[in-house]
Amino acid sequence: MNIFSQSATVILKCSVLRTISLDPWNWFSIECISNEDVDDGDTVTDFMAQERERGITIQSAAVTFDWKGYRVNLIDTPGHVDFTLEVERCLRVLDGAVAVFDASAGVEAQTLTVWRQADKYKIPRICFLNKMDKTGASFNYAVESIREKLKAKPLLLQLPIGEAKTFKGVVDVVSKEKLLWNSSSVDGKDFERKPLLEMSDPKLLKETTEARNALIEQVADLDDEFADLVLGEFSENFDLIPAEKLQTAIHRVTLAQTAVPVLCGSALKNKGVQPLLDAITMYLPSPEERNYEFLQWYKDDLCALAFKVLHDKQRGPLVFLRIYSGLIKPQLAIHNINGNCTERISRLLLPFADQHVEIPSLTAGNIALTVGLKHTATGDTIVSSKSSALAAARRAGREGGKKHGQNSEAERLLLAGVEIPEPVFFCTIEPPSVAKQPDLDHALKCLQREDPSLKVRLDPDSGQTVLCGMGELHIEIIHDRIKREYGLETYLGPLQVAYRETILNSVCASDTLDRTLGDKRHLVTVELEAKPIETSSVMPVIEYAEGVSEDILKASQEAIENGIHSACLQGPLLGSPIQDVAITLHSLIIHPGTSSTMISACVSRCVQKVLKKADKQVLEPLMNLEVTVTRDYLSPVLADLAQRRGNIQEIQTRQDNRVVIGFVPLAEIMGYSTVLRTLTSGSATFAVELSHYQAMNPQDQSTLLNRRSGLT
């Protein structure tokens, strides 16, 4: 898909979002008109072998180019739920976004997830209804799904000329012009723009006039300045309102996020892409229009956010930076606030997917690719020096004191990060031989730095390396990358679900640890209580009874909490993490000279004892499931979901298809794609995402425990 634009920051993606960044500097030009597309498996931004084989985006990729005098930084992000962190960390650095929908499906399951992520970061958006030439495409259905499911107010800036096989162009509602693409044009460059005339297009002109009047009324309701203009000069005839005035008002409404402009087209042959890029430059914000509060604290000093790290075999770590203020040059020493370290940028590159252009400097509003930052990770804040960071912190502290009486808000903005979701799948991974274990460790270390949602841990009982990921596809891709990029033939164990555990009643226990090491005696006595809590909490809630000495707490609180946290990492039933539990320390007696390690060990042992005494419950991950299936295959799909302990919430109608929405335990949908293909002759599709953890019923829990212990 050939998408270009201006310069702020935007996202675009099929049924989700991708990313673009726009800023008004035009000093460097890249020729990026290309004939590659998803359907041929050679998209510019999908350069990984796995992406081209599967026809999907796995890693976000950045492209910088110019469009009609504007610099554009585009970031292509994945649409699959397993790679949602890629979207999250790119959204953090965006100024604006383009949500790309399948016109035959409208809002889909993952669309809702990414839309909520964009809401979280307050990103202004444009909607692009793609695949208007696809069988079953419906402009009205897609618009209605945006209105109903996303609770957004769509502003129809275009109308399609035909749908499905008859789609040949679009009508510009604002200027009342039609854009027709030459049917023989492969790359979409050959199109003509004509004004709508009463003589040649009476029906289309009438529809467009009605749509334009409705658009004007919508915008007037949302923008007071435009409303005054409409009610004053042009109340008698809306046709006289200049297109420029309407476009300016739409720009303000888009920035205020009170409505979303909607455009349509077909990216396969680039029909509608040029007006989409014009709309991006016209309606989405430039970096200067985005109000980042922390910029006032840095003045003109450098402030940038590292939002992605790639590992290159020749260059080492490549760090993507969004520059918010200041200037970056090669050989510049920078300070990493999060890591509290100073590093030097050896080279500065402008990203173009997997090809990069070396440049002498880069200013605010741009996305840079840096070489030489060995300790910088995703979410780190980069400034010019430690003194600059301290000065900004002082300004933020003064501002925070005026507004909130504390500087916690300022601190959060200074150390902006990305929330890493918890993995739901895990499996063991083994190298071909013991001699290759260091190579595997190195590969996993590099991949973890690139992808923070990938977790690697060592099983304390078996000594095996365990991969923890967001889904089957996620782990499959990691396994494939280790083979292709690092030349290691690794072996994966069976996929297992990441269960969690909790307790059902309050229990007290005490423990004493008495050890003599050398000539020093270590003596600790602990009494504590564990109880369930109603609010969901992944980490244990730690409380202290009034009888616990403040002096002891002051000296040993860190050791106590380390002991509690380590004990809650492995529950007594499955060795899964404990959640939704409060630990209250009632008594702690420490012999003088006792080390903090011994205090942690005693507390940890006592927590394990109290958890074993309590009534225990296994929690399993419950997934939101959405299956799109034709009416003919609905019955077998529902029967299969019933066998998988599925809970159907509703069945919606989408064109000629049925959409089954419900909840299914994660353990029951491993390998579901193969089964669904067999049941429906390959005609159905499905999407899943983690909803929450729920308690297993006693029978299922007993079956799981017996299976894990080898009894069944």
**What are 644's two structure tokens?**
């998988």
CA distance 280 to 268: 19
| 131 within some domain | yes
| 411 within some domain | no
What distance lies between CA 101 and its chain's CA centroid? Answer: 17
Name the residue type at position 107.
V
Q: Are residues 68 and 147 in the same domain?
A: yes
| 210 within some domain | yes
Q: Say whether 102 counts as a known binding-site residue.
A: no
Q: Are residues 20 and 164 in the same domain?
A: yes
Looking at 399, 416, 435, the residue that finishes a domain is 399
**What are 691's two structure tokens?**
């909803």
pLDDT of 179: 92
Name the residue type at position 353.
A
Put simply, whether the predicted model's pTM sits higher than 0.75 gets the answer no
Contact 618, 573 (CB under 8 A): yes
Q: Are residues 685 and 572 in the same domain?
A: no
Q: Say whether 335 counts as a known binding-site residue.
A: no
**CATH number of the domain to which 356 belongs:** 2.40.30.10
Total number of domains constituting the chain: 5
**What are the per-10-residue average pLDDT scores of the chain (712 residues)?**
36 36 31 38 42 51 82 76 71 87 87 85 93 92 93 95 91 93 79 88 92 94 91 80 93 95 91 92 89 79 86 83 90 87 90 76 88 86 85 72 43 56 83 91 88 84 82 84 88 87 93 87 91 89 87 87 92 91 92 89 94 93 90 92 92 86 90 85 82 90 85 58
Q: Are residues 132 and 35 in the same domain?
A: yes
pLDDT of 89: 75
pLDDT of 578: 93
Name the residue type at position 503.
I
Q: Are residues 49 and 74 in the same domain?
A: yes
pLDDT of 82: 60
Q: Are residues 177 and 271 in the same domain?
A: yes
- The per-residue pLDDT of the chain, averaged, comes to 82
Q: Say whether 78 counts as a known binding-site residue.
A: yes
User: How is residue 14 annotated by DSSP?
Assistant: B
Q: Say whether 79 counts as a known binding-site residue.
A: yes
| 247 within some domain | no
| 2 within some domain | no
**CATH number of the domain to which 595 belongs:** 3.30.230.10
Q: Are residues 162 and 187 in the same domain?
A: yes
pLDDT of 439: 92
Neighbours of 693 (CB within 10 A): 22
| 235 within some domain | no
Q: Are residues 385 and 453 in the same domain?
A: no
Q: Say whether 131 counts as a known binding-site residue.
A: yes
Residue 88's H or E segment, with its range, is: helix 84-91
Neighbours of 643 (CB within 10 A): 8
Contact 507, 614 (CB under 8 A): yes
Q: Are residues 685 and 646 in the same domain?
A: yes
Q: Are residues 385 and 331 in the same domain?
A: yes
Q: Which residues contact 239 (CB under 8 A, 6 or more apart)?
A: 209, 212
Per-residue pLDDT tens for 544-597? Answer: 988 888 888 888 889 999 999 999 998 999 888 999 999 999 999 988 888 899
Q: Say whether 132 counts as a known binding-site residue.
A: yes
Range of the domain at 69: 7-214+254-289
Q: Are residues 85 and 173 in the same domain?
A: yes
| 356 within some domain | yes
Q: Which residues contact 67 (CB under 8 A, 6 or more apart)?
A: 4, 5, 6, 277, 280, 281
Distances (CA, A) of 600 to 81, 502, 545, 637: 39, 22, 18, 52
| 430 within some domain | yes
Please tell me whether residue 490 adopts helix, strand or coil conformation.
coil
Cα-based angle 58, 36, 272 (whole degrees, multiple of 5)? 95
> How many CA within 13 A on the CB side of residue 712?
8
Q: Say whether 80 counts as a known binding-site residue.
A: yes
The beta-strand segments (E) located in 182-315 are 191-195, 260-264, 303-312
Longest dimension (CA), the chain: 105
pLDDT of 251: 96
Per-residue pLDDT tens for 196-215? Answer: 888 888 899 999 999 999 99
**CATH number of the domain to which 464 belongs:** 3.30.70.870
**CATH number of the domain to which 630 belongs:** 3.30.70.240
Looking at 434, 458, 490, the residue that finishes a domain is 490
Q: Which residues pair with 344 in a beta bridge?
A: 333
pLDDT of 287: 87
Looking at 614, 639, 665, the residue that finishes a domain is 614
Q: Are residues 164 and 180 in the same domain?
A: yes
